[in-house]
Amino acid sequence: MLISLNWLKQYIDLDGIEISELENALTMIGQEVEKIDVKGENLEKVVTAKIVEKEMHPDSDHLTICKVDNGKEVLQIVCGAPNHKAGDKVALAQIGARLAEDFVIKKGKIRGVESSGMLCSEEELGLGSDSSGIMILPEDAPIGMPLKEYLGVNDVVFELEITPNRPDCLSHIGIARELGAYYNKEVNYPSTEINGETGEKTEDNIKVEIENSDLSKRYVARIIRNVTVKESPAWLKEKVESIGIRSINNIVDASNFVMMEMNQPNHAFDFDKIAAGKISVRSARENEKLVTLDEEERDLATDDIVISDAEKVVALGGVMGGQNSQITENTKNILLEVAHFNPINIRRTSRRLALISDSSYRFERRVDRSNAINVINRLANLIQEVAGGEILAGAVDIYPEPYARRVATLSFEKLHRFVGKVIPKEEVIRILTKLEVEVKDNGDSLTLTAPTYRDDLENEQDYFEEVIRMYGFDNIENILPRLDINPKATMDTTKLYDKVKVIASQAGLKEVINYSFVPRDAIDKIKFTKVPKENLIDLPRPITEDFATLRPTLIYSLLKNAKDNMNKNVSNIRFFEVSRTFEKGEELASEETKLAFILAGENDKTLWNAKPVPYDFYDLKGIVQEIFTKLGFKNYQIKRSAATELHPGRSADVFVGRELIGSFGEIHPDVLENFDLNKKAVLVAEFSIDLIKKYIGRKTVYEPLVKFPAVPRDFAFVVKEDVLVGDILKAIEKVDKKIEKVELFDIYRGVGVLPGMKSVAISVILRDKNKTLEEKEIVEISNKIVNKVKKDFDGILRQ
């Protein structure tokens, strides 16, 4: 957004404030200054001059040799422009003039003829877009005066980075309001009272209808008769061109001026081209087309908002007008439009057609529909001033859905705790009043009603930020917070997250970083039910439909990563992410940091695998166990998973007691189908690092190697098919303290085993740390194992 200082001074007194101080003020209040363009910096050593003689160059059919008087001496200049003659007053760049960073005027020879300067065009001087010839000054222009002084070029243009939540600052009045609150100065608003109206009424000449209030929540129209379309007066042309807008004519320039002044896009139609005096705001119909002002024919879609008359589409609402209703030099009567259009529709249309205009840019971010009458009156007055004409009485105002102002309560106690300093109540009220917030003092709190142009002020935290940015960050002292010293060792959370990332990387996984937002249908798409839908946090005004909900799980993002990579022929996917997930809490959002990783496609071939092998459950389980081991997370149980996003029977949940730490396994076939991955092997895991942190052992205990031999014993138990092997292993581990290790090494179904049964082969390592086990002890422990399995699982020893 470009802001002209001269233009800004129309609304607020900034005299005596240095450019550097103004830059700092804008940055401190959140309107970051990207660039400052001091107009006229390139005009040093450029003066007004007069051509006293002109003749053709002997070695060129288009170059001329001019004798130019600069007020002190007559210089010889070689010129290639076609539009000058002897006696013309011109702009002369003398030797040493720096017209651009890498363009310095030097004395030289052009085809053998010496030239001691340069006659310049508007474009070369940065004063306009005309490059067809040199700049010809009025006949009464003095000779030898610095051009900067003659033209009064003394403006400063700030290029600001305006955040998407502050569309009100996409205007000069918006920035004036900000600076008014910061410097405690009054803002001088332009008059919005109509200067004079005819007896004829607007409503008797134009009828307006809005077919669907979801498309437009307000449409205001006015008519001005007998205007004269011509070049804009110098002051208006200077204003619009100072911020990079090309001057077209007085009507269009006035329209652009008001948009950049009040942040309200508007449009002027040639009223005589509106059929039957009717305007309709509606969705485009199938196969409709429109030639826009840029002379391109556009194929319209049914979610495009269009403005039509009784016969045809005359504008692409909120984006660009139509050529069939544009203002021309023959226009006499004009219809003015100031409206509201649905930001989502505008965004879709603009992106689909690759047609981004100043108008669409603002409508996408929301405009203040409550201010529409003031804007159209200001525009009508300005057009009457620069183009004449008679303004018809009244306006047609279709307003199906008035704007409801937002109300919030601010607690002084919470404010001071947030800021870290007690700001006087009077100062808080002054700041908010200057920001045009309606304030009601309740003693220890304030009831605040946001202005209609500040849709971003929703709760008291938003007002905390308003107070602190206007109070000034520099006015808040650096004071260390009071901390209670805890004698117990605590784990540095940041270090834990970093450690998890290192371990995951060492396990062969590659880190990805995704946005914290997902589409609204993402949770349904992955069949995720661990967080109820009512606990999801939807954004009221998402930037795009893909960023509509704060994600409660990392799985959707990783699946999308896998899908995108597979579409690019990446066959080996080993990704992980450590990030926060979100769901609704009692007051604020509940955040939880999780580790998730995904295996998809095929593992690369190795020396022992001649061909790539698809990933399976045990690849995933191995990585899970490796990460848990290196974190020191031991006392957990693995159970068959009930997670709806995972494949039943090929997934597992990890518990500590009754607390679910996370899940891992193959993705459910329905989810794979939703991502068009139904022929791929895809496995995911997701765990709460915050919960794991609670159970990580604080100390690592080292024990000496046991010098007594281990005794291996193998068992094969026949059990029912539905008995979980993990439960059998845990039961055996608890039979005797001399059992050092229990592992599954085979599951058999087939000949010799009855249908509905399975044979589970288990290896048990026995060891006594104090002595060598005797045969009697080994037999006794073996019998305990057999009896335990028979009692708890109805398992029999396979013979």
Calculate the average pLDDT of the chain.
91
Q: Which residue has the tokens 């990446």?
A: 570
pLDDT of residue 678: 73
Same domain, 559 and 664: yes
CATH number of the domain within which 133 lies: 2.40.50.140
pLDDT of residue 197: 92
pLDDT of residue 485: 61
65: tokens are 């040799």
491 pLDDT exceeds 80? Answer: no
Convert the pLDDT of each residue in 446-476 to its tens digit: 999 999 999 999 999 999 999 999 998 888 8
Q: Which residue has the tokens 């005794």?
A: 711
Give 166's pLDDT tier (boundaries 50, 70, 90).
Answer: very high
215 contact partners, CB below 8 Å, separation of at least 6 = 281, 282, 283, 305, 317, 341, 342, 345
Model pTM score: 0.62
Q: State how far the Cα of 4 lies from the Cα of 533, in Å rounded to an integer.
A: 48
Q: Is 611 helix (H, G, I), strand (E, B) or coil?
A: coil
Give 149's pLDDT tier (boundaries 50, 70, 90).
Answer: confident
Same domain, 500 and 600: yes
266 contact partners, CB below 8 Å, separation of at least 6 = 255, 258, 259, 336, 337, 338, 375, 376, 379
Containing 603, the helix (H) or strand (E) segment is: strand 589-603
Domain assignment of residue 101, yes or no: yes
CATH number of the domain within which 526 lies: 3.30.930.10
765 pLDDT exceeds 60? Answer: yes
Q: State how far the Cα of 4 lies from the Cα of 173, in Å rounded to an integer.
A: 11
Same domain, 64 and 138: yes
Same domain, 110 and 12: no
Which range among 201-205, 277-281, 646-650, 779-783 shows the weakest confidence by mean pLDDT?
646-650
Q: State how far the Cα of 719 lies from the Cα of 758, in Å rounded to an integer.
A: 6
382 pLDDT exceeds 80? Answer: yes
489 pLDDT exceeds 70? Answer: no
pLDDT of residue 153: 80
Convert the pLDDT of each residue in 557-581 to its tens digit: 999 999 999 988 888 899 999 999 9
pLDDT of residue 610: 63
Task: Confirm whether residue 456 is marked as ligand binding.
Answer: yes
Give 167's pLDDT tier (boundaries 50, 70, 90).
Answer: very high
Number of H helices, E strands in the chain: 21, 44
Where a domain ends, among 376, 398, 420?
Answer: 398
Domain assignment of residue 188, yes or no: no
Q: Is 61 helix (H, G, I), strand (E, B) or coil?
A: coil
Domain assignment of residue 700, yes or no: no
Domain assignment of residue 585, yes or no: yes
761 contact partners, CB below 8 Å, separation of at least 6 = 714, 715, 716, 744, 745, 746, 747, 748
pLDDT of residue 420: 87
Same domain, 438 and 424: yes
pLDDT of residue 605: 61
Same domain, 452 and 467: yes
Angle 412-419/425-434 helices, nearest 10 degrees? 90
Q: State how far the Cα of 100 lies from the Cα of 91, in Å rounded to an integer.
A: 16
Give 587's pLDDT tier (boundaries 50, 70, 90).
Answer: confident
pLDDT of residue 508: 92
Same domain, 239 and 263: yes
Domain assignment of residue 480, yes or no: no
CATH number of the domain within which 719 lies: 3.30.70.380
Task: Confirm whether residue 299 is marked as ligand binding.
Answer: no
pLDDT of residue 229: 96
Over residues 253-276, mean pLDDT: 96
487 pLDDT exceeds 70? Answer: no
Task: Confirm whether residue 123 is marked as ligand binding.
Answer: no
Same domain, 726 and 683: no
408 contact partners, CB below 8 Å, separation of at least 6 = 447, 448, 450, 457, 458, 459, 460, 462, 463
Over residues 197-225, mean pLDDT: 95
- 291, 312 in Cβ contact below 8 A? no
pLDDT of residue 321: 94
CATH number of the domain within which 227 lies: 3.50.40.10
Same domain, 347 and 211: yes
CATH number of the domain within which 455 lies: 3.30.56.10
Higher pLDDT among residues 413 and 697, named by residue:
413
pLDDT of residue 607: 55
What's the structural domain count of the chain? Answer: 6
Where a domain ends, among 374, 398, 422?
Answer: 398
pLDDT of residue 700: 62
pLDDT of residue 694: 86
Helix then strand then coil, in percent of the chain rounded to 5, is: 30, 30, 40
Dihedral angle sign, alpha carbons of residues 443, 449, 454, 460: positive
Task: Confirm whether residue 59 is marked as ligand binding.
Answer: no
Which range among 156-170, 399-413, 597-611 shows the weakest confidence by mean pLDDT?
597-611
Q: Which residue has the tokens 């055996």?
A: 732
Where a domain ends, among 695, 723, 743?
Answer: 695
4 contact partners, CB below 8 Å, separation of at least 6 = 155, 156, 157, 172, 239, 242, 243
590 pLDDT exceeds 60? Answer: yes
Domain assignment of residue 685, yes or no: yes
pLDDT of residue 484: 63
678: tokens are 């139904």
In the chain, what percentage of residues exceed pLDDT 90?
Answer: 74
Over residues 647-666, mean pLDDT: 91
E-assigned strands of 74-228?
74-79, 89-93, 98-100, 103-104, 108-110, 113-115, 118-119, 136-137, 156-161, 197-201, 207-210, 218-225
* Residue-range definition of the domain harbouring residue 179: 2-39+155-183
Same domain, 226 and 173: no
Higher pLDDT among residues 113 and 154, named by residue:
113
Give 44's pLDDT tier (boundaries 50, 70, 90).
Answer: confident
Same domain, 64 and 15: no
Q: State how far the Cα of 287 lies from the Cα of 281, in Å rounded to an integer.
A: 17
Convert the pLDDT of each residue in 89-140 to its tens digit: 999 999 999 888 888 999 999 999 999 999 999 888 888 778 889 999 999 9
Domain assignment of residue 253, yes or no: yes
Domain assignment of residue 8, yes or no: yes
Higher pLDDT among residues 585 and 365, named by residue:
365
Same domain, 262 and 207: yes
